[in-house]
Amino acid sequence: MKQILFLGLFFISFTANSHNPEKLVISEIERGQLNFENETIAAEYSAALKRQRIRRLSAMSWSKKMYIFIKAGFEHIIPQGLDHILFVLGLFFSTLKLRSLILQVTAFTFAHSITLALAALGFVKLQLSVVEPLIFLSIVWVAFENTFFKKTTKWRPLVVFTFGLLHGLGFATLLTQYGLPKDNFISLLLAFNVGVEFGQFAVLLAAFILIRLIYLKTEYKNQLKIPASILIGCTGLFWFIESLI
């Protein structure tokens, strides 16, 4: 059973891209296909798609807009944000103590909310090509710590907080690429964030339930800690190298 789970995770992590650029986050307001080769036409087309999404959104009711952004935030974790999933799983495997886990997750959430807001409001600007490799490194680091450090250090929440800042920038680059209508900017930003939190929570919940199903007892989670972390770390490293090429 354990082996199957490993194999499965291994398979998924190496075949899927962390963010498939073709896959669009906000699917309700998406139409049309990109089927040009010419670069200029493609760039014009995606700029037009963004304008179209913003128009569509502006025409929607408030509740519909909120729903779409919550959903977009959620989908940004599940199924599209495999990198974020792995990071959260990295946190999950780091400790047995619920308190420590909650502390880390809260630090992560707090941090990525800050940078997501700052970047979406235009105060911070960073290229995805810079942010993405760093996010992958953060995964590697968390896994590294899980594998080689006996106990989680007291600095861990701070480290996680710093990484959270990075992940927030990652969320933001995608969000701004898709466009936020000016009139409901703040509330939709919040909605997106709420969606992200839901996604994160769902990952943790699923991990928790799976562990319970396999081992019956939470304590056995430790047996899984090192192999899972190695796997997570290798995947992150693979993505990191891939993103540099």
Partner 1 sequence: MKKLILISGLILMVSCQEKSKLDPNINPFFQDWTTPFEVPPFMDIKNEDYMPAFKKGMEENLAEIEVIIKNTDDPTFANTIEELERTGKLLSKVQRVFSNLASSNTNPKLQELQRELSPMLSAHYDKIVLNEDLFNRVEEIWNNRESANLTKEQQKLLKDTRKQFVRSGALLNDSQKKQITEINSKISELSTEFGQNLLAETNGFELILNKSDLEGLSDAVVSAASEAASQKMDQAESEDEKEKYKDKYVFTPHRTSMYPFLTESTRRDLREKLYNSYVMRGDNANETDNNDIAAKMAKLRAERANIMGYKTHADFILEENMLKTPDEVYDLLIQLWKPALKRAKAEVADMQAVADSEGKDFKIAAWDWWHYSEKVRKDKYDLDEAAIRPYLSLDNVIQGVFNTTNKLWGLNFKEIFDIDSYHPDARIWEVTDKDGSHLAIFIGDYFTRSNKRGGAWMSSFKGQSNLDGRERPIVVNVCNFPAPVGDNPSLLSFENAVTLFHEFGHAMHGILTDVTYGSMAGTSGPRDFIELPSQLLEHWVSEPEVLKSFATHYETGETIPDELIEKLLKAGKFNQGFINTEYLAASLLDMDWHTLSLEDAKNISNNFENNSMNNIGLIDEIAPRYRSTYFAHIFSGGYSSGYYSYVHAAVLDSDAFEAFKEAGDVFDPELSASLRKNIYEKGSTEEAMDLYVNFRGRKPIIEPLLKVRGLDGSSD
Find the part of the chain contacting partner 1 (CB under 8 A) among 41-49, 105-113, 218-226, 229-237.
Answer: 41-49
Binding residue (CB under 8 A) for partner 1 from 25, 65, 73, 75:
75
For residues 48 and 241, which CB has a smaller minimum distance to partner 1 in the complex? Answer: 48
For the chain, the distance separating the N- and C-terminal CA atoms, rounded to the nearest angstrom, is 36
- CB–CB of 103/157 below 8 Å? yes
Q: How many residues bind partner 1 (CB under 8 A)?
A: 31
Find the part of the chain contacting partner 1 (CB under 8 A) among 35-43, 136-144, 153-161, 166-174.
Answer: 35-43
As given in the structure block, the two tokens for residue 142 are: 């968390």
Find the part of the chain contacting partner 1 (CB under 8 A) among 141-149, 155-163, 188-196, 205-213.
Answer: 205-213
Binding residue (CB under 8 A) for partner 1 from 25, 26, 49, 120:
49
Find the part of the chain contacting partner 1 (CB under 8 A) among 4-12, 37-45, 90-98, 135-143.
Answer: 37-45
- In whole angstroms, the minimum distance from the beta carbon of 30 to partner 1 comes to 9
Binding residue (CB under 8 A) for partner 1 from 10, 11, 14, 36:
36
Find the part of the chain contacting partner 1 (CB under 8 A) among 54-62, 132-140, 157-165, 215-223.
Answer: 54-62
52 in contact with partner 1 (CB under 8 A): yes
238 in contact with partner 1 (CB under 8 A): no
Per the document, the length of the chain is 245
Which of 94-114 are b and which e, b meaning 16 or more Cβ less than 10 Å from the residue's Cβ? Answer: bbeeeebbebbbebbbebbbe
38 in contact with partner 1 (CB under 8 A): yes
198 in contact with partner 1 (CB under 8 A): yes
Binding residue (CB under 8 A) for partner 1 from 71, 76, 84, 221:
71
As given in the structure block, the two tokens for residue 148 are: 């080689």
Binding site for partner 1 (CB under 8 A): 27-29, 31-33, 36, 38, 40-41, 44-45, 47-49, 51-52, 55-56, 59, 71, 74-75, 78, 179, 182, 198, 202, 205-206, 209
